[in-house]
Amino acid sequence: SVMAEIAPSILAADFARLGEAVEAVERGGAAIIHVDVMDGHFVPNITMGLPIVRSLARVTRLPLDAHLMIAEPARYVAQFAEAGARMVSVHVEAETHLHRTLMEIKRHGALAGVAINPATPLVLLEEALPYADYVVLMAVNPGFSGQAFIPTTIDKLRRLRRMIVERRVATRIEVDGGIELENAAEVAAAGADIIVAATAVFDSADPAEAVRKLREAAVQ
Ligand code: DX5
Ligand code: ZN
């Protein structure tokens, strides 16, 4: 059986208790901690940055996945890798020199990801796939947790999976936004390797149990 990994996003956690939040999802079997970095410019919200990544890197062994929803991400990728993010993604919509920035992330020892908004066509990723360790396929417009999953993402996900198979690249697919227990199985079946979830995990009474249930749903 193939299992999509669960990457809880701390965006929906209590920011005054981030250590406990991470500890709970670790106990539940989370594979990755997803950190949503927003600058109030590329997206209409401001969240967290380098100091939080540095602090979290000290309290967890799980890889930290910095999802940079910021303008001019090339200015910051090295700093995020040095702060302890083992995965760093930049948006294709925010980066003109994608190849250079992906190589820069790798040079600093992190896995390099490309994130893509719901209305951005997959063709913009085509030439970058051989250099991208993972794609963050957005199923909501980035900016906030708790939004509804955009249904056309499933077809886009299947097409991205096909593109990766046909091109014989090792790029993994992370699906981000609107995933809950009810649609996790469908997302995993359509080709997700990694499933991000904020609300479904941290708005629940028992985040560890919520991760366990998402893992069960994500087994194919
Ligand atoms: C959206 C973020 C997502 C978000 C997911 O801008 O990139 O990672 O935290 O939140 P949920 O799972 O609640 O849709
Ligand atoms: Zn995210």
Q: DSSP E strands: which ranges in 93-200?
A: 111-116, 134-138, 172-176, 194-197
Specify the number of domains making up the chain. Answer: 1
Please give the average per-residue pLDDT across 89-100, as a whole number.
98
Mean pLDDT of 94-101: 98
Judge whether 67 is annotated as a binding position: yes
For residues 36-73, b (16+ Cβ closer than 10 Å) or e, as one string? bbbbeebbeeebbbbebbbebbeebebbbbbbbbbeeb
Of 50, 7, 12, the C-alpha closest to 26 is: 7
Q: Given the cut 0.85, state whether the ipTM is greater than it.
A: yes
Is the shortest distance between the CB of 196 and ligand 1 below 6 Å?
yes
Q: Is 89 annotated as a binding residue?
A: no
Contact 113, 136 (CB under 8 A): yes
Give me the residues paired with residue 35 across strands. Answer: 66
Output the CA 13–ligand 1 centroid distance in Å.
11
Between the alpha carbon of residue 50 and those of residues 16, 115, 130, 164, 194, the distances in Å are 16, 19, 28, 32, 23
Q: Which pLDDT tens digit goes with each residue over 134-187?
A: 999 999 999 999 999 999 999 999 999 999 999 999 999 999 999 999 999 999
Ligand 1 neighbourhood includes 177 CB (under 6 angstroms): yes
Nearest CA owner, ligand 1 atom 10: 145
Name the residue range of residue 106's domain: 5-217
Catalytic residue, from 65, 133, 176, 193: name it: 176
176 is catalytic: yes
How far apart are the CA of 133 and the centre of ligand 2, in A? 16
Cβ-Cβ contacts under 8 Å for 125 (sequence gap 6 or more): 92, 114, 116, 132, 135, 160, 163
Q: What is the pTM of this model?
A: 0.98
CATH code, domain with 149: 3.20.20.70
In the annotation, is 39 catalytic? Answer: no
